Structure 1
């Protein structure tokens, strides 16, 4: 089963962008993320509509942050992505009318709703600034420097 990693990828890109002085092209972001620039542009366009990033055209243009990292939570970005499904699990619906299936599905639905509510609450507690601070602590501990173009080089 394929997992939806858009939230992780977008958070990744946003933190890389936070380390840059100026705009970053879709091509540079795509190279760093090992994806296609079209994918980057599509996702970034959605974030632009929500006011999290902006785009500048022409020479020296690209994507840049348009938000304060301390005011944006992981939940905000999750919502901006269209609130993709959090849980890959579901329940059977092959025997409608089966009382056992109804009992199992009711219990699972309640458990799934509770798990999603807790996860969404946790996402709402973590800001992009907290992620950035964690990144900087890790960078300092490693004694490295940040370079988007080479951040993922082996």
Structure 2
């Protein structure tokens, strides 16, 4: 609340009910700038070829569980070919029922992305949520074309 001190006649001070909107305008302008910068970043419409990872290699567990998707879309658990409906039971046998064990998923580079996601959905449906994707390590220090 502001007090009007302009009148010099007497002791009656009147209160004014004007709201100071300057801080409100400052906040609105800051939000406008944030949205102007963030809006172009939120749209993804550019086709991209994903590079090879150059992240440092993580230590491997003693007995890792590998699920591989071959170029003919066959699924292998370790070295053995497994049918898609039997993947959950085979994983339970390999991990001794430990659903928290990390599953390493490998796929041939010719495998369509949709097929890879289908295998990930099979893993999730079987209760295995910790899935690591395996790729080649980039030893040249940069992305390959």
Same fold, judged at TM 0.5 (above): no
Of Structure 1 and Structure 2, which has the larger fraction of its residues in helix? 1
Q: TM-score, normalised by structure 1?
A: 0.25
Q: TM-score, normalised by structure 2?
A: 0.26
Of Structure 1 and Structure 2, which has the larger fraction of its residues in strand? 2
Instruction: Specify the structure having the higher radius of gyration (Cα).
Output: 2
